[in-house]
Structure 1
Amino acid sequence: MIDFRYHVVSLVSVFLALAVGIVLGAGPLNEGISTGITDQVRQLTTEKNALRTERDEALATTEQQDAWAEAVAPALLARQLAGRGVAVVELPGADSSQVDASVEQLQAAGANVSSRVTLQDAWFDGARSAVEDRRETAAALAGQLPLAPAPDAGTEDVLASALAQALVSTEPAPVENPSENPEQNPDESARTVLGTLSEAGLVDVQDGTDPVPARATLALVVGGAPDPDATDAVRGSTAQAWTALLRELDGAGAGAVLAGPPEAAADGGPLAVLRADADLSAAVSGVDDLDSPIGRINAVLALRQQLTGGAGQYGSADSATDVSPPLPAPVSAT
């Protein structure tokens, strides 16, 4: 049995330790700890202020660059796409405000935005019922296309080919002022294809539905950030659909450009998929800064470059090969 003296000694030891701790904490140790904390707070405050200054400077620089781009755009892009029709295709997840701004820049460059089509989620839905619906739609369209798809073409290839043939052509539309006379050269096959895709819930055609204008020669596809919740299987099937669409749009017309914000070039994004395919990225241009005026200029210049048979990957992402396309020679207004 432990005697009473053992308990007394233990209690005395505990109280002595507490007393020593209190004395040291209120004296020399307190001064050292307080000084250390104060120094750390002062250092963190200095670093925070420096980071805030760097951020403000970066924002000011970006604003100045955007202002410069907006100022030079009219002269730089004047008539670069004059007389050319451009079909605009918006992928799910794209920022509609960026699409609107891109359309304005295309029109400022003299292009006629002949149609604007938004792909619906049903185009990429991996549910069994959605897959079956797409298969039935592709089967119905296969016999209506001027250029029949290959016998072994998959559903994604047939749908992409149908949309591409409805929107673009290699022959420029012989229309001087399409906006003044949109009924010149209406394309009945395009009307049928777009109507079928629309009724199936695969696309939403915002312009050029009735009547369908002459098809464009160029295509601008606008994408957005990847879906962070998508499974690997969904990412794989979506990437396959993107690839088929870009390939068909480029092949059916005079060229295609995929553009989006920097997030579109992140892993799983449409620009990342394009740039990971060496053959496709050598034919279809990519622009990864469409959220800025400079990026929208790049998109127009990339379309202009497509007309000459060139292609490139432009922007500020690591996967880009150049900041911007080559500057074309000024176009005479006469």
Structure 2
Amino acid sequence: MIDFRYHVVSLVSVFLALAVGIVLGAGPLNEGISTGITDQVRQLTTEKNALRAERDEALATVDAQDAWAEAVGPALVARQLGGRSVAVVLLPGADSSQVDATVGQLQAAGATVASEVTLQEEWFAGSQTAAADRQRVAAALADQLPTAPDADAGTEDLLAAALAGALVTTELAQAEEADDQGGTVLTTLSDAGLLEVQGGAGTAPTRATLALVVGGAGDTDATDAVRSSTADAWTALLRELDAASAGAVLAGPEESAAQAGPVAVLRSDDDLAGSVSGVDDLDSPIGRVNVVLALRQQLTGGAGQYGTADSATGVSPPLPATPSAS
């Protein structure tokens, strides 16, 4: 049995240890700990200031590059697309301000925008009801395709082919004519809630010879099944627009080249990336110049992947050769 003396000795030991700790903490140990913390704070402050300086320098560089692109952009793109027309297709998530700035750059290059359509979420929605509605519309439009569809063509292929036939052509002469059949296709797609046509779908469109598709960031929260079906629809759209025109370009901001983004999907398909150009810096003046130069390259049969993402093969398309003085 533990006696009273044991309790006294235990309490004395506890208080003695506490007193020693207080003395050491207020003396030599406190000095060492305080010095160590002070050194760490000083080091972290130095590192923070260095990172802030690097950030400010990087932002200043970007601002200077944007200012340069704004200044020389008109001269770089002037007459690059003279006499050509472009159909602009917006995917869900496309930034309207980036689209407006890009359209301005196309016009500065001498191109006209023949049409602008915005695909709605229903074009890609993964629900059974949405899929059934798309299948019904695709079946109704199949007879209006310029060529008979393949026997194994899916719904996304039929819709993409119908839209491409309404918006673009490979023949420059046909680009000057209104297309009544194309107007019917756009009205059908619009009435089904699959797209919106700028200015309304009631008039016959004038087809373009080039196509520009604009996207945004991918939906990383979507299920694998939805992401896969969306990627299939993007791929079908790009393939059909490219085949039915003199060339197609897909453009978006940096996020579009990240996981599940449309540019990332394009670049993951080697065959498609070899024919459809991708631009991943549409949120910068340089990117909008890249769009014009990429469309110009498409006219010569070339294609490339441009921008600042790791998946890009170059910063910008090559400048067209200028005729030498005689």
Deviation at 1:203, TM superposition (A): 0.5
Q: Write the mapping of 1:80-95 to structure 2, written as runs, cut at 5 A.
A: 80-95=80-95
Deviation at 1:331, TM superposition (A): 8.4
Q: Given that residues 183 and 205 in structure 2 are in contact (C-alpha distance below 8 angstroms), is that contact kept between their aligned partners in structure 1?
A: no
SS at match of 1:191: helix
Matched, 1:216 2:179: no
- CA deviations 1:6-53 (Å, max 9, x no partner) are 111111111111111111111111111111111111111111111111
Matched, 1:187 2:186: no
- Kindly report structure 1 stretches of 4+ aligned residues shifted beyond 4 Å: none
Q: 2:278 aligns with which of 283, 286, 302?
A: 286
Indicate the residue corresponding to 1:8 in structure 2: 8
- The letter for the 2-side match of 1:139 is A
Q: Given that residues 145 and 189 in structure 1 are in contact (C-alpha distance below 8 angstroms), is that contact kept between their aligned partners in structure 2?
A: no
SS at match of 2:113: strand
Q: Identity of counterpart residues, as a percentage? A: 77
Cα distance in structure 1, aligned partners of 2:262 and 2:199? 24
Indicate the residue corresponding to 2:48 in structure 1: 48
Q: Structure 1 residues 325, 208: CA separation in 2 closer, same or farther (over 3 Å shift)?
A: farther
Deviation at 1:74, TM superposition (A): 1.1
- The letter for the 2-side match of 1:41 is V
Cα distance in structure 2, aligned partners of 1:11 and 1:21? 15
- The letter for the 1-side match of 2:91 is L
Q: Write the mapping of 1:131-146 to structure 2, written as runs, cut at 5 A.
A: 131-146=131-146
What is the root-mean-square deviation in Å for CA atoms of aligned residues?
1.5
Deviation at 1:147, TM superposition (A): 2.3
Q: Given that residues 114 and 208 in structure 1 are in contact (C-alpha distance below 8 angstroms), is that contact kept between their aligned partners in structure 2?
A: no
Q: Give TM-score, length-normalised by structure 2.
A: 0.96
Cα distance in structure 1, aligned partners of 2:133 and 2:208? 28
- CA deviations 1:182-240 (Å, max 9, x no partner) are xx621101100000000111111114745333200100111111112111111111110
Q: Given that residues 79 and 331 in structure 1 are in contact (C-alpha distance below 8 angstroms), is that contact kept between their aligned partners in structure 2?
A: no
Indicate the residue corresponding to 1:254 in structure 2: 246
Deviation at 1:2, TM superposition (A): 1.1
Q: 1:233 aligns with which of 225, 231, 236?
A: 225
Cα distance in structure 2, aligned partners of 1:172 and 1:111? 13
Aligned residues: 324
Matched, 1:308 2:289: no
- CA deviations 1:97-116 (Å, max 9, x no partner) are 11111111001101010111
Cα distance in structure 1, aligned partners of 2:48 and 2:261? 33
SS at match of 2:144: coil
Q: 1:196 aligns with which of 188, 200, 206?
A: 188
Q: Given that residues 173 and 215 in structure 1 are in contact (C-alpha distance below 8 angstroms), is that contact kept between their aligned partners in structure 2?
A: no
Cα distance in structure 1, aligned partners of 2:84 and 2:321? 17
- The letter for the 2-side match of 1:282 is G
Cα distance in structure 2, aligned partners of 1:324 and 1:77? 13
Q: Given that residues 294 and 317 in structure 2 are in contact (C-alpha distance below 8 angstroms), is that contact kept between their aligned partners in structure 1?
A: yes
Q: Given that residues 214 and 251 in structure 2 are in contact (C-alpha distance below 8 angstroms), is that contact kept between their aligned partners in structure 1?
A: yes
SS at match of 1:118: strand
Deviation at 1:151, TM superposition (A): 2.3
Q: Given that residues 117 and 207 in structure 1 are in contact (C-alpha distance below 8 angstroms), is that contact kept between their aligned partners in structure 2?
A: no
- CA deviations 1:265-288 (Å, max 9, x no partner) are 112111111111110000000011
Cα distance in structure 2, aligned partners of 1:136 and 1:26? 82
Indicate the residue corresponding to 2:234 in structure 1: 242
Deviation at 1:93, TM superposition (A): 1.2
Indicate the residue corresponding to 1:155 in structure 2: 155
Q: Please say which of residues 208-217 and 123-132 is displaced more in the overlay.
A: 208-217
Q: Given that residues 253 and 282 in structure 2 are in contact (C-alpha distance below 8 angstroms), is that contact kept between their aligned partners in structure 1?
A: yes
SS at match of 2:213: strand
Q: Give TM-score, length-normalised by structure 1.
A: 0.94
Gaps of 5+ in 2: none
SS at match of 1:143: helix
- The letter for the 2-side match of 1:190 is G
Cα distance in structure 1, aligned partners of 2:174 and 2:15? 100
Deviation at 1:312, TM superposition (A): 0.4
Indicate the residue corresponding to 1:37 in structure 2: 37
Q: 2:313 aligns with which of 303, 306, 321?
A: 321
Q: Given that residues 301 and 325 in structure 1 are in contact (C-alpha distance below 8 angstroms), is that contact kept between their aligned partners in structure 2?
A: yes
Gaps of 5+ in 1: 176-183
Cα distance in structure 2, aligned partners of 1:207 and 1:41? 61
Q: Structure 1 residues 255, 103: CA separation in 2 closer, same or farther (over 3 Å shift)?
A: same
Indicate the residue corresponding to 2:57 in structure 1: 57
